[in-house]
Amino acid sequence: MSIIEKAAGKLEAQYQTPPVQGPLTGEDAQRERALIEESIERAAASFDETPARPARKPSGDDQEGPATVWGGTSRQVSIDIARLKAMGMVTPDAGRDKIAEEFRLIKRPLLARAFGHGDTPRVPRGNLIMITSSLPGEGRSFTAINLAISMATEMENTVLLVDADVAKSAIPRYLGIEAKDGLIDVLRNPRLPLSDVLIKTDIAKLTVLPAGPSIAHANELLASSAMKAFVEDIANRYPDRIVLFDSPPLLATSEATVLASYMGQIVFVVEAERTPQEAVKDALTHLSGCEHIGLVLNKAPARSVHGDYYGYGYGYGYGYGYGEYGR
């Protein structure tokens, strides 16, 4: 039975009492019919075939796929793992290679704050993590995708990667997937089920929400009430899931600052030997609403110590930020 049929049945049951007056005719009948149809549409939009489950901590035996976790049935795609590996990215079978080790170091404190591991207290909305930078081209999408894949390999983590760089989307190109619909469509039409635009990948526990179609003033949607409602809904429904937002650069659009205010943690990417220090300082002033900011030094030349690789564990902080990440 479809959502419309269920909603219509629900309404029909409410109208079982016999009418006091005779049947309506003419304009009165048309007006009554229009009201009923409008009520059916509203009921159908609010009817949830897959109600959200209470928040729980997933176990290592949890084999439920992202298509079920996020509601409904998402489109499924295969990711070319060999292609990712050729681009120097993290892959599920990476083992202990250099890039995998670097992102393990980056994700550990993020996960600890998201779920309160060990002696680290759980951060409010710590599972909502935005990846941003000062300027374009510093490696935000590269970092976001690698973090998403690395986190999805954890036994207890299900990850949703949101392409929030709605003006210059890069995630589908990196992953080699086609995506016509996405976040833009959800923000423009709140009735649209999220499952209609999600893409479940064959990387276990990794689901992608693409940016959607390219439209004028797309970035303005990031600062809209619809975006705030979307983030709040995700935060309330799925506090035990990781949600990564690939954001526009802070100095390129003011809307990224608004998006950052909804997050529990920020990963701030800095391109080594290119990003001006003043740009970093300026961008960080836009993040005063978030207490948990980590800086990732990206594209740093690898160095060798006695012939061994040495390229991670290096970072720096500024003001209210901290510098425990590095690549």
pLDDT in tens, 35-62: 544 543 443 343 333 333 333 333 333 3
32: Cα separation from own chain's centroid: 42
Between the CA atoms of 111, 116, 121 and 126, what dihedral angle is there, to the nearest 10 degrees? 50
Would you write out the chain's pLDDT as a tens digit for each of its 327 residues?
A: 544 444 444 434 443 433 434 444 556 555 555 554 454 344 334 333 333 333 333 333 333 333 333 455 568 899 999 999 999 999 998 888 889 999 999 999 999 999 998 889 999 999 999 999 999 999 999 999 999 999 999 888 899 999 999 988 999 999 999 888 999 999 999 889 988 999 999 999 999 999 999 888 888 999 999 999 999 998 888 888 999 999 999 999 899 999 999 999 999 999 999 999 999 999 999 998 888 999 999 988 765 444 433 333 333 332 223 344 333
Contact in structure between 245 and 160 (CB atoms under 8 Å):
no
Q: What residue segments make up the domains of the chain, in order of their start? A: 3-46, 66-310
- Comparing C-alpha atoms, which of 168, 229, 175, 169 is closest to residue 201? 175
- Comparing C-alpha atoms, which of 167, 201, 163, 200 is closest to residue 183? 163
Cα 231 from Cα 72, distance rounded (Å)? 19
184: Cα separation from own chain's centroid: 13
How far, in Å, are 6, 64, 115 from residue 175 at the CA level?
38, 22, 28
DSSP secondary structure string, 276-325? Answer: -HHHHHHHHGGGTT-S-EEEEEESPPPEEETTEEE-SS-----TT-B---
Contact in structure between 75 and 209 (CB atoms under 8 Å):
no
H or E element, residue 163: strand 159-163
Read off the pLDDT of residues 121-145 as tens digits, 9 standing for 90 and up.
999 999 999 999 999 999 999 999 9
Task: Return the ∠ at Cα 66 (arms to 260 and 325), rounded to 5°.
Answer: 40
Sign for the pseudo-dihedral over CA of 159, 165, 171, 172: positive
Helix (H, G, I), strand (E, B) or coil at 238: coil
pTM of the model: 0.72
CATH of domain 66-310: 3.40.50.300
Cα 12 from Cα 6, distance rounded (Å)? 10
249: Cα separation from own chain's centroid: 16
pLDDT the model gives residue 215: 86
Helix (H, G, I), strand (E, B) or coil at 132: strand
Packing angle, helices 98-115 and 140-152, rounded to 10: 80
